[in-house]
Amino acid sequence: MNNLIEDTELSFKLLEYSIRNMCYAELGEIDADLFGQDLQLNLDEEGVSYSSGEFKNQDSIVRASQMAVSTAFGATAICLDCILEKVKSDDSEIKIIKSLISATRNAFSHGIASPEWFVKPHKFEVLDLSFVGGIRVNLENLNGQPFDYSQIGGLAVWYRVKSHIILYVSNT
């Protein structure tokens, strides 16, 4: 469980890093000429080259940084899901969180760049996240919709969900 908790904490650090990177990109604070230059990785197995041109303008850097945020957020859902796979509990709050995490992870597995809710009919339910200062999430209404952070109450709620999970598993 300690490894799963550490992975989760690291995934949230990756999310923060990605958000910070995106903010700098959106502010135009990344030097596109420097960032988009040729890059050579000399790896033990075999070198890899990235030629200049892909990230030579702010728009391409911003788009990639936004996708990095989406990918990192998806990684947090995967890590939280891995923890919850190990938790056997009748606690109603944990059951609600399990449903939320599962649906969120599933949305990102159906499109990491443009995640979309995909909820099977037997999983349709309304999740009351008030115990973490969140909103009511109607999974049936979200099914088929593009994912938006506001649909789960925003990033702050997501961080509180993580804290709730970590506290719960640390005390069991």
Digit-coded pLDDT (tens) for 30-76:
999 999 999 999 999 999 999 998 898 999 999 999 999 999 999 99
Give residue 1's pLDDT band: very low, low, confident or very high (50, 70, 90). confident
What pTM does this model have?
0.92
Query: At 84, is the secondary structure helix, strand, or coil?
Result: helix
Angstrom CA distances, 145 to 18, 87, 96, 107, 141, stand at: 24, 29, 20, 9, 8
**What is the distance between the alpha carbons of residues 29 and 18, in angstroms, rounded to a whole number?**
14
Each residue's pLDDT tens digit, 79-92: 999 999 999 999 99
